Structure 1
Amino acid sequence: MRNAVKLKSLIATSCAVLIAGTLISACSATQKPANKAQASVPTNAQIEAILSNLTLEEKAGQLNLINFEGELGEEHYEMIRQGKVGSLLKSNGAAQNLKLQKIAVEQSRAGVPILFQEDVIHGYKTIAPIPLAEAASWDLPAIQHSAAVAAREASAAGIQLTYAPMVDMSRDPRWGRIIEAAGEDPYLASLVAAARVKGFQESGEGNQNILATVKHFAGYGAALAGRDYNIQDLSERELREVHLPPFKAAVDADVAAVMIAYTAHDGVPLTANEYMVQDVLQGELGFNGLIMTDWATIYNLERAGVSANEEDATITAINNNIHMDMAAKKYVELLPKLVREGKVDEQLVDDAVRQVLMLKYKAGLLDDPYGRFDVELEKKELLSAENVEATKQMALKSMVLLKNSDNTLPIADSVKKVAVIGPFAKAQKDLMGWWPGLGDENDVVSIMAGLEQEFGDSIEFTYAQGVEIDRFNKAGADLIPEAVKNAEAADLVIMVLGEQEWMSGEGGGTASLHLPGLQEQLLAAVAETGKPIATVIVSGRPYVLTDVANHSDAVLQAWMPGTTGGNAVAEILSGKFNPQGKLPVTFPYHQGQVPIFYSYKKTSHPFMEGVTEDRYSTTYRDVQHEPLYPFGFGLSYTEYSYSDIKLNSASMALDGSIVASVDVTNTGDVAGREVVQLYIHDKVASVTQPVKLLKDFTLLELAPGETKTAEFTITADKLSFIGIDYQPTIESGDFDVFIGPDSVQLKQAEFTLN
């Protein structure tokens, strides 16, 4: 075994480790730190003055987050007048929320303003690409700006807090909420988490920021068998290596609130899990802001069978420093009684109220309760030309070119007749995804409309739906002949395939990863014509595109690209924009490979390429073990060549660094942007290590024929791992360093840590 160094000798705290570029704890369960939150509840004189004036019922009201759909009724107004509503969800519009705020401030006894909250996931009125798509851009400033656009629109419409970013790690595309994630890698996901928090909270537009809520703490993305809300036990090691780093990144970015997961860790639901909430989140990660439930998760303690009744569940939640009750109304109904009966310490209630009031203070509501409700600003901001252009740029950067045989794309000038075929060619609502905010499908540019706008009269387009979409039935076979006829008469076929917006997202688990309905059969029939085919995929998850790729000359993963999606697809197909996206998640070759990800642990037996006769290897007997498209993969309309890796030294001291560099040349005839990726492998360690881990990346803009050098500085934080005793550890010895355009096509070098 190599010499091991505990990072506690390098970092002030004995419970800290650097993983994926973020500081994370490695305390074992037997070495739990003190509950930091008990000694550090944020407050100020203004908050204390408000708190001292509240009755017990009004305190409980501040912790009550209620929702409404449609029109508010008199019962809602009365609850507000009685001080029983601290926050509102699903109330939108500056005029409506100003009306409600005036009731709270002017007609309730204490006059505490309401905090208005909404699911602003990837846009408010102008809808950006889904978060998984944004992660495919690997462009952190663009991702931050996209969140800032959403913040400005939501703030103008009377919203002060959003339930984003979702940073749950998922390596199973059957799970519908992978649509909201940043992919499979904790390093990339951590950087995206911080960028989105900063975008929401620091848009640079005065009072047009909104507060961010990172969710769902923690391990929710490991849903068993891809079924939402389904509990799967995680090892302490997997929790710390994979699931916690993005939360730590969000906390370090000063995220305002944390939402607790529906699921459990080590058998204990997160709402009741003192180790996860108090020791890990508040103690180790150092979060001292507001912690809220997910939808009615206090009530879910009864459903899960860990609380006998609603009183038991309420006591458990407040004792675990859960500050805000979303939708269940248990705090407002039960806490005053429980405090008076001596079953709940009023100090816990007071501290929870302090957290709520601190959010209202940060939102500016305590100083000016009416200053965030400007009807004229709302009209100006929503769907502004600036916002529409920003979302189109985000969509362009997010799309990933997966195949392009014989330069099928961009569409050549010689192409005069194009058959656009598929059930998503004219789709609008589906391009917004499961969380469309206040987006209106009538504002969405369909792919068919985008093509017609982009090419004008230079191309004659025909359209055929091809099949009908029904997840549970094979419908629309009678439409296929018309599609084939159109294809036969065309110079080029553009197939637009995918899934409807309800087929992914929350509760959108699927057992099959083949495109729904008869879409693959439609494509196969069109391919029989022998015409060149460019296929565009509209989806919120990675599908198995093996047959799609076999029957297509080009494949563009467009994701669910938002309001301007049709324009973005058209600009890529025309060549106006050179695709630059890279996959943040592995695309499987076969659905039986799931879960599949690039950073698998090294085992005692080798991985063999393809289908091998070597039984004693970590492979399948019937299909290749390699994915169809690996993590980090993405093509361009140009090509790049990489030099061998240059190291400025063959060895590195523990407190030093080395520089790894490659020269990257654009060998094509169009300008492009390349995402150059750095991976590291610890060759011998006391704990089994991944075969490689992403540790850095950079984006290079390269003109035709231009060469630039990508340099990466490797320091000790990029070499650490959680050791046998769950303490942060660096071990001296040999390391592989890889640099390349994705997680497979890599140049390799080696250095030694002394």
Structure 2
Amino acid sequence: MNKTNLTNLVNQMTLTEKVDQLLQLAAAFYSDKAEEKTGPMSDLGLNEDNINNAGTTLGISGAKEAIRVQKTYMEKNRLNIPTLLMADIVHGFRTIFPIPLALGSSWDLSVAEKMAEVSAKEAAVSGLHVTFSPMVDLVRDPRWGRVMESTGEDSFLNSRFAAAFVKGYQGDDLANDFSRVAACVKHFAAYGAAIGGRDYNTVNMSERQLRESYLPGYKAALDAGAKLVMTSFNVVDGVPATGNEWLFRDVLRDEFGFDGVVISDWGAVKEIVAHGVVADEKGAAELAIKAGVDIEMMTTCYSRYLAELIAEGRVAESLLDEAVLRILQLKNDLGLFENPYRGADEWLEAELILSDEHRQIAEEIAAKSIVLLKNEQILPLKRSEKVAIIGPAAQTQDILGAWSWQGKQSEAISLVTGARRLSKNIVVGQEVFDYFEPSQAAINEALALAKSADKVVLALGEQEWMSGEAASRSDITLPEAQLDLVKLVLAQNEQVVVTLYNGRPLDLRGIDGAKAIVEAWFPGTEGGTALAKILWGDYNPSARLSMSFPESVGQVPVYYNCDNTGRPYESDPDEKYVSKYLDVSNYAKYPFGFGLSYSQFDYESLTLEDQVMTEDRNLRGSVRVTNQSDVAGVETVQLYIYDKVGQVTRPVKELKGFYRVALAAKASQVVAFEIDESMLQYVHTNQKMSSDSGEFELLVGPNSRDLLKVTFALKKNR
């Protein structure tokens, strides 16, 4: 259907039908059991006509149900317009992959693309058309539970992953490839900067910081073709994002050129009232439609008041028509007018969902996402060694993480199950070990096993509910009972490896006595298999942190690319009157980009072909990386730049490139790179991107802390 036909379709719709096209309702409203939707209808003040014309649906599950809902919907819709079926498919549909923060730690863009591709296949065959992913919010405060949905603290890395997610979800031909789904980038904008790490809290930053650090990730997703954008719950410059005309009209549509659909987050239109910038829901509807919000999710401000606002002349009907046209265009882009049951197939669903192939992919991606934080020559484990696996996370299947909507813990592989596939020489307790209040019997059993073993794997961490939406924590240490257990176990056996399942960087004080620490995140359905293979050396860890781990929660936010100060700590660490704490260092315990391997990589001979570059002549350079060990491995070579003098204060370093290099034992490789003028640009006081002539430092190494350094200069023509 071309745009003219879509416009004609809009013209055939009544005002009420057009308003209802902007309404998104949850699955319960389309239940075939009348009693299940009577209550929700009454709560929202809706009638059957509203439901029969609501343009989009949230949370329908399964091919059979999706086909039934679509068939019933089109039979009742006067113009036979299909509904759009949407859901949160964030890190897997039924086959669950590692949380996005873990995927970011892979530093492997193919991992993100493959995860999204498999997720799209399972979702599409189950009848879904749109996923509310990727979340590309920049995150710097691990107290915020939703850091688990982001790929980390760096704008450059987030942007690369954002584009990879979109490519994986949408493919190259969304209208004809029914194994793909439309991607919705979220949350626009700066949701990850909530003050104090408290979910839904206020965001306060300069426009320059917004543009330089927070907007690039969204822009990258849009440049990759993302079809939808979701509003954020927070304010931007004091105005709720969901009613922020500057943000959505001026920036998103005019500057970024986005012509797709904007959808509110759950209830966000009505929440404009709670922000205190309008007095009632009618005012919220006016603000949101003028801002350019096309779909209102799960509140009814538009349904109740938009027609009235148009009749009063407060809202132009053309704004409504634009929104409806964008929604119809998305349905057309998905091929729904020709194929309203697009992709839904019960038989293929049974074959694809949680298939052996998808499980294998999930295992491989999990292995690439697990970060080795510490290793004092205890890992990898040997199959000849007697290993005790103890602690609350030893046998748990609670490893999927938040937003594993269709995932089932019963289908997840625990660490113990994974380990038993590799070694017959492990011992495991029989007592159930609680995360917070383990019984004395469980503790006694664990200590006896630890004492009898050659080595101990002490499995600790968070439970799923402790991170994700509405899961902010002021104290990001491990539960006290787990820290007590570490002390008790170390008294019995010093050969201890700690493994962690969690959804955020943690304050790891209390486990320093362990000889190894393995950060497994929430690794997904095959997480236990992947973690066991890391421990026993079947996989050589290659992941690198995409978000810093603090020494203490009191440092938060602590991130690698902070701005310098007028009294930098580095100028004289022993001086009192510099920017520092009295009781803890300025630096992260484990910095951005950090991660160990069973290989040992050395860097040398960082060189540039010239010390001066111009706007039209790039600067080439190289560094030699050598695997000094007897174990083949993958190293992530990271390239950072420091702008010594800028119009505004510049970060002490910024990631500008990375290169994953596979090296055989004792092998070397010269890694070549190129610096162009765009890599030196930043947002100036005029809110525009440009570069300055001057001196720069190039820093290259295995993480954001341990770096080789050379200097160069940019000489501009003007």
TM-score, with normalisation over the residues of structure 1?
Answer: 0.91
Residue 241 (structure 1) aligned with residue 212 (structure 2): yes
Instruction: State the superposition RMSD in angstroms.
Output: 1.9
Name the counterpart of 2:648.
687
| Structure 2 unmatched ranges of 5 or more | 42-46
Deviation of the 1:728 alpha carbon: 2.1
Alignment of 1:367 onto 2:338: yes
Contact 1:609 1:625 in 2 (8 A): no
Q: Residue 52 of structure 2 contacts residue 76 of structure 2 at CA under 8 Å; is this kept in 1? A: no
Does 1:172 pair with 2:141?
A: yes
Q: Among the aligned pairs, what percent are the same residue?
A: 39
Deviation at 1:241, TM superposition (A): 1.4
Match of 2:559 in 1: 597
SS at match of 1:742: coil
Residue 261 and residue 72 in structure 1: after superposition, are their counterparts in 2 closer, same or farther (change >3 A)? farther
**2:596 equivalent to 1:627:** no
1:440 is matched with which residue: 408, 419, 432? 408
Mapping of 1:252-263 within 5 angstroms?
Answer: 252-263=223-234
Aligned to 1:651: 612
Q: Structure 2 CA distance, aligned partners of 1:437 and 1:350?
A: 34
Q: Which moved more, 1:229-238 or 1:255-264?
A: 229-238
Give, as a single letter, the amino acid of the residue that structure 1 aligns with 2:483.
E
Query: Structure 1: how far apart are the matches of 2:606 and 2:528?
Result: 40
Q: Distance in 2 between matches of 1:431 and 1:368?
A: 37
Aligned position for 1:119: 88
Match of 2:265 among 278, 294, 302: 294
Of 272-281 and 737-746, the range deviating more from structure 2: 272-281
* Distance (Å, rounded) in 1 between the aligned partners of 2:619 and 2:4: 50
Query: For residue 543 of structure 1, what is the aligned residue in structure 2?
Result: 506
Aligned CA distance change for structure 1 residues 609 and 615 (closer, same or farther; 3 Å) = same
SS at match of 2:91: coil
**Does residue 561 of the first structure (1) align with residue 523 of the second (2)?**
yes
What is residue 543 of structure 2 aligned with on the other side? 581
Match for 1:52 among 11, 24, 28?
A: 11
Task: Supply the distance in 2 between the matched residues of 1:552 and 1:53 (Cα, whole angstroms).
Answer: 70
* Unaligned segments of structure 1, at least 5 residues: 1-41
CA distance in 2, matches of 1:647, 1:718: 16
Bigger CA drift: 364-373 or 274-283? 364-373
Matched position secondary structure for 1:546:
coil
SS of 1:212's equivalent? strand
Mapping of residues 281-680 of structure 1, within 5 Å: 281-406=252-377, 408-415=378-385, 417-428=386-397, 430-455=398-423, 457=424, 459-463=425-429, 468-470=434-436, 476=439, 479-548=442-511, 550-608=512-570, 612-680=573-641
Report the Cα distance in structure 1 between the residues aligned to 2:2 and 2:257, rounded to whole angstroms.
16
Question: Which residue is equivalent to 1:225?
Answer: 196
| Residue type of the alignment partner of 2:649 | T
Displacement after TM superposition at 1:507 (Å): 0.4
The one-letter amino acid paired with 2:426 is E
CA contact (8 A) 2:127 2:341 kept: no
Name the counterpart of 1:94.
63
Distance 1:425 1:440 in 2: 18
The alpha carbon displacement at 1:111 in A equals 1.0
- The C-alpha deviation readout for 1:567-600, integer Å capped at 9, x for no partner, is 0001111111100000001000111110000001
Whole-Å Cα distance in 1 between the matches of residues 50 and 533 of structure 2?
A: 53
Deviation for aligned residue 1:160 = 0.3
Q: 1:163 aligns with which of 117, 132, 136?
A: 132
Displacement of 1:108: 2.2
Contact 1:163 1:214 in 2 (8 A): yes
Q: CA deviation at 1:609?
A: 9.9
Q: What residue number does 2:101 align with?
A: 132
Equivalent residue letter for 2:494: K
The answer to whether the 8 A contact 2:211-2:687 is kept is no
Amino acid at match of 1:445: I
C-alpha separation between the residues in 2 aligned to 1:50 and 1:395? 47
For the residues of structure 2 that align with 1:654 and 1:113, how far apart are their CA atoms?
A: 51
| Matched residue SS, 1:731 | coil
1:681 aligned partner, one-letter code = Y
Deviation for aligned residue 1:726 = 2.5
Deviations 1:416-458 (A, max 9, x none): x221111111111x21101112011111001111111222x2x
Return the alpha-carbon distance in structure 2 between the equivalents of residues 460 and 274 of structure 1. Answer: 61
Tell which has more relative contact order, 1 or 2 (C-alpha 8 A, sep 6+): 1
Question: CA offset at residue 467 of structure 1?
Answer: 5.0
C-alpha displacement at 1:608, in angstroms? 4.0
Check conservation: 1:644, 1:748, Cα contact below 8 A.
no
8 Å CA contact 1:395–1:562 kept in 2: the answer is yes
Match of 1:268 among 239, 248, 251: 239
| AA partner of residue 693 (structure 1) | E
Report the CA distance shift for 1:475/1:511 in structure 2 as closer, same or farther (over 3 A). farther
Contact 1:400–1:557 (8 Å) recurs in 2: yes
Q: Distance in 2 between matches of 1:232 and 1:299?
A: 19
- Specify whether residues 500 and 688 from structure 1 end up closer, same or farther in structure 2 by C-alpha distance, changes over 3 A only: same
Q: Kindly tell me: are residues 299 and 43 of structure 1, through their superposed partners in 2, closer, same or farther at Cα, counting changes over 3 Å? A: farther
State the match for 1:19 in structure 2.
Answer: none
Aligned to 1:36: none
Residue in structure 1 matching 2:25, options 49, 66, 75: 66
Per-residue CA deviations over 1:530-555 (Å, capped at 9, x if unaligned) read 3311111000000011321x121111
Q: Which amino acid aligns with 1:163?
A: F
Q: Determine if contact 1:421/1:463 at 8 Å carries over to the other structure.
A: yes
Alpha-carbon separation, structure 2, partners of 1:203 and 1:148: 12
Q: Match of 1:463, as an amino acid? A: G
Structure 2 CA distance for aligned equivalents of residues 641 and 69 of structure 1: 58
Q: Distance in 2 between matches of 1:348 and 1:716?
A: 41
Partners of 2:644 and 2:151 lie apart in 1 by 28
Matching residue's letter, 1:572: I
User: Displacement of 1:361 after TM fit?
Assistant: 0.8
Return the letter of the residue paired with 2:371: V
Q: Could you tell me how far apart the structure 2 residues matched to 1:290 and 1:465 are?
A: 52
Deviation at 1:662, TM superposition (A): 0.4
- Contact 1:601–1:689 at 8 Å: present in 2 too? yes
Distance 2:515 2:571 in 1: 25
1:613 positional shift: 3.8
| Matched residue type, 2:239 | V
Secondary structure of the 2:582 match is coil
Residue matched to 2:44: none
Does the 8 Å contact 2:601/2:627 carry over to 1? yes
Per-residue CA shift, 1:64-87, capped at 9, x if unaligned?
A: 101135955435897378633211
What TM-score, normalized to structure 2?
A: 0.95
Q: Aligned AA for 1:44?
A: K
- Once residues 251 and 125 of structure 1 are traced to their aligned partners in structure 2, the CA distance between those partners, rounded to angstroms, is 27
Aligned to 1:717: 678
Counterpart-to-counterpart distance in 2, 1:80 and 1:364: 25
Measured in 2, the distance between the counterparts of 1:302 and 1:158 equals 35
Q: Would you say the 8 A contact 1:150–1:200 is kept in 2?
A: yes
Q: Give the whole-Å Cα distance in 2 for the aligned partners of 1:215 and 1:304.
A: 20
